[in-house]
Amino acid sequence: MKTVITINTIKYTIDLSKPLDISMSIRGSKDNANAWYIEEPKIEPAQIGEWTASVKEGASINFNNIQFNPHAHGTHTECVGHITEKFYSINKCLKTFFFRAEVITVAPEKIDEDYVISKSQLKFLLKQRKPEALVIRTMPNTKDKLSRQYSNTNWPYLTEDAAEFIKKIGVQHLLVDLPSVDKEKDDGKLLAHKAFWDVNGKIRKNATITEFIYVKNKIQDGKYILNLQIAPFENDATPSKPILYKIE
């Protein structure tokens, strides 16, 4: 189903019947992707007295409680409230949901004991393009990202200069297939988060970071329209479902 959408006065034709989902689901399983040293998500029938809310257990309905952490357990979108004393809600900060996006694939480069995504890499791959949303797929890109246990692995991350560059060229929405844009253990410096949101300048309240995405290999680098769907939590972060559409 082809449709025309307008973003910043420019018209784009996309086919809504051909979505490219780049989210990871949250499963009540130890095989769920995980980070930040906490247990797996739990999805279990509510227990009220002797009654178990499961059709298998004789109830007329399935009525599950869900326990998870958006930052640790799957694709999530966060606002600057993730790192500020003042409360900001992603449900209030993200006000529009369709954006011009660029997908790029990066092989993080080794510096000492770390693997990083650098400003020079991003500058080379973007070649003067200035998308509203930037989707970063890291290499190697294998399906085990869907179930990887990231705690204590020192995953790749963006350098402060890389995040500063992304902010400078006007990227409002940054999406990565890592648990965080920052180094796992950085003594709370959060250099990439702070640079992207400009917390020491004019805070970019409408800018978002989406982490723990998964971009399949069949999705080619290039221009897309991004539909960034979120659950309406009044929290700094929420589970999300980013969808790409090829531009016709």
What are the pLDDT digits (tens) for 10-62? Answer: 999 999 999 999 999 999 999 999 999 999 999 999 999 999 999 999 999 99
**What is the C-alpha end-to-end distance of the chain, expressed in Å?**
12
The answer to whether the beta carbons of residues 74 and 242 sit under 8 Å apart is: no
Q: What pLDDT digit, counting tens, does each position of 200-211 carry?
A: 999 999 999 999
CA 71 centroid distance within chain: 9
Both tokens of 74, joined, read 């799957």
Average pLDDT over residues 118-146: 97
Torsion of CA 10, 13, 14, 16, to 10 degrees: 100
d(CA 96, CA 227): 9
Tokens of 238: 């929420």
DSSP 3-state of 167: helix
The Cα–Cα gap between 90 and 236 comes to: 5
What Cα–Cα distance (Å) separates residue 204 from each residue in 18, 26, 194? Answer: 32, 29, 10
Domain extents in the chain = 2-26+74-246
76 has pLDDT over 90 = yes
Q: What share of the chain is helix, strand, coil (3-state, %, to 5)?
A: 15, 35, 50
Whole-number average pLDDT of the chain: 97
Place of tokens 């648990």: 179
CA distance 35 to 25: 15
Query: Which of these CATH numbers, 3.50.30.50, 3.30.1490.190, 3.30.70.100, 3.30.930.10, describes 2-26+74-246?
Result: 3.50.30.50
Encode pLDDT of 107-118 as tens digits.
Answer: 999 999 999 999
State how far the alpha carbon of 103 is from the alpha carbons of 23, 45, 133, in Å.
14, 39, 9
Percent of the chain with pLDDT over 70: 100
pLDDT class of 135 with cuts at 50, 70, 90: very high
